[in-house]
Structure 1
Amino acid sequence: MSPELLALALGLFSALTLAAANLSVKAGADILSSRAILQCSAALMVAPALFVVPPPDAATWRALAVAVPAHFAYQLVLVGALKHGELSLVFPIMRGGAPLLTGLLAWLVLGEALSLPAVLGLVIATLAVVAFALPPRGVGLLAHPDRRALLFALLTAAGIALYNVTDAAGVRAAPSPFTFIVLLFMFDCLGITPLALWRRRGRWGEIIRAKWRYGLAGGGLSILSYGAALYAFSLTEAARVSAVRETSVVFAALFGALILKEGFGTRRIVAALILAGGLAILQFAG
């Protein structure tokens, strides 16, 4: 299999597991606690790999010094988005705004360039997923009933674009992509966990008993999802990997409708089809 096709397959697998990981956090009700348990679970799961991956060098540590704060900022706004909005509402916005921003940042920071058709595909995909969260018919944007959730979702999109670029640089700078992947998962809990411990102080015994299943499932899915995406970053352009991974919005909308009993509707089905078309243009543009 060519590196490009492998990156495509990894991106699609990452999309499915990403949607499932966020479903587990949303289903846990206490979003902050579920996210903290997810991150701690993921760190414990990858810890044994420290003994088999190549040791980090100075470039790896420099990359982590940028990537870990970027991930913490993303986690903060993600918690806000999932707390204030339905999964099928905020997920398309926060994931859909990311590909275009990632493409722009990858061009500015990594020197990557996409062809004009690929840029068109990025724009179509981004507009399609934004359509998932348009207000109800007859309601203006300023009167949108989920304004706070949408604001957090837009901030999350910016956070996703930021960490996509920092992580793409990290997997390329490290002695092995797996070195960066393992260390990132190890350190990714260092911001959100102390915050959750402070905000939920005195209740952690109760929280762990009630939420550990959601956090553990999310941690395993998170490893599978972002590990696949990070390795794909080492095979092809960051913007392409990010865009394929954003097909997770379709899975998340289905999970929200079928499992969480959230709305879906014809408009979101059409938006998903347009999204698929935009991503196809992006992937197969010359």
Structure 2
Amino acid sequence: MPLPIVVLILFAALLHASWNALLRAGNDRLWSMTVMCLAVAVASAGIALFLPAPAVASWPYAVLSGVLHVGYNLFLVRSYKVGDLGQTYPIARGSSPILITLFALAFADETVSASALFGIALVSGGIISLAFKQRRLAVPSLPYALGTGCFIAAYSVTDGIGARLSGAPLAYTAWMCALWGVLMPLVYIGLRDTRSLFAQRPGFITALAGGLVSLLAYGIVIYAMAEAPMGAVSALRETSVVFAALIGYIFLGESLSVRKVLACVVIASGTMLIG
């Protein structure tokens, strides 16, 4: 994989960990996530106006991805309701690279080298190990965290195929994210009401900023998936758990043990094999 692509993905990983930390720190995470999506919708629609439309063949993938992203949002919010960032995030993100590699093989006829596959396995294993406590995977939100990982795998492969068919990965990203950004507020209104969504409350500006950060992070990932194997891109992106562990330790008061540091070393080793 070209070094510039690797560097871009690692930057996206840092951005991704940052907006997840913002979400986990909020009091009303469903509201925060929905405000993030509003920011994504407005920014994406504005960007789409200055880009050529993606090829028609990619449109069904954009629609499917938008729906899958809403499912991902709901599962992620539920996961953070009962779990720590340092536990929930590794399960969700660690399970997805292997799933994406399998899905990409099944639906995109995509294969990776033996060394890259070993690197992906190291990254996934190292990430998931971050969630263990005293050799036990005691995660209260485990079903939702695993469900989040499945949604990640599903929308990542969908977007990888869609971006390649679009002929314009950035335009595909803009249109897909605009659709996703509109769908999530509609779901919120269906679950709650319109008034509470647009009410001014603490964290509004932070949530808007988090949405813009998430848009930039995922736009980089879609661009990378159009240029490199999806499983390898996903594994590199999931190094965001290393950043999440550090953010959780520094800003959220979560623990950072020797075992977590060793897991981060394993993840870094897998990253070098992929890169």
Give the TM-score range, shorter chain.
over 0.9
Output the CA distance in 1 between the equivalents of 2:49 and 2:219: 17
CA contact (8 A) 1:33 1:207 kept: no
Question: In the alignment, does 2:147 pair up with 1:155?
Answer: yes
Equivalent runs, 1:237-276 vs 2, <5 Å: 237-276=229-268
Aligned to 1:121: 119
The Cα offsets for residues 232-260 of structure 1, whole Å up to 9 and x where unpaired, read as 11111111111110110000111111111
Output the CA distance in 1 between the equivalents of 2:155 and 2:191: 25
Aligned to 1:5: 3
Output the CA distance in 2 between the equivalents of 1:119 and 1:60: 28
Which residue identity lines up with residue 271 of structure 1 in the other structure?
A: A
Aligned to 2:22: 24
Output the CA distance in 2 between the equivalents of 1:275 and 1:133: 14
Aligned to 2:65: 67
Q: Judging changes above 3 Å, is the alpha-carbon distance between structure 1 residues 203 and 136 closer, same or farther for their aligned structure 2 residues?
A: farther
Equivalent runs, 1:1-286 vs 2, <5 Å: 4-136=2-134, 141=137, 144=138, 146-147=139-140, 149-201=141-193, 204=196, 207-283=199-275
Equivalent residues, number: 275
> CA RMSD, aligned part only?
1.7
Output the CA distance in 2 between the equivalents of 1:257 and 1:51: 41
Output the CA distance in 2 between the equivalents of 1:109 and 1:206: 40
Identity in percent:
32
Q: Which runs of 5+ in 2 are unaligned?
A: none
Q: Which runs of 5+ in 1 are unaligned?
A: none
Output the CA distance in 1 between the equivalents of 2:191 and 2:157: 30
TM-score, reference length from structure 2: 0.94
The Cα offsets for residues 78-118 of structure 1, whole Å up to 9 and x where unpaired, read as 11111211111111111111111111111111111112222
Runs of 4+ with >6 A deviation: none
CA contact (8 A) 2:63 2:176 kept: no
TM-score, reference length from structure 1: 0.90
SS at match of 2:134: coil
SS at match of 1:78: helix
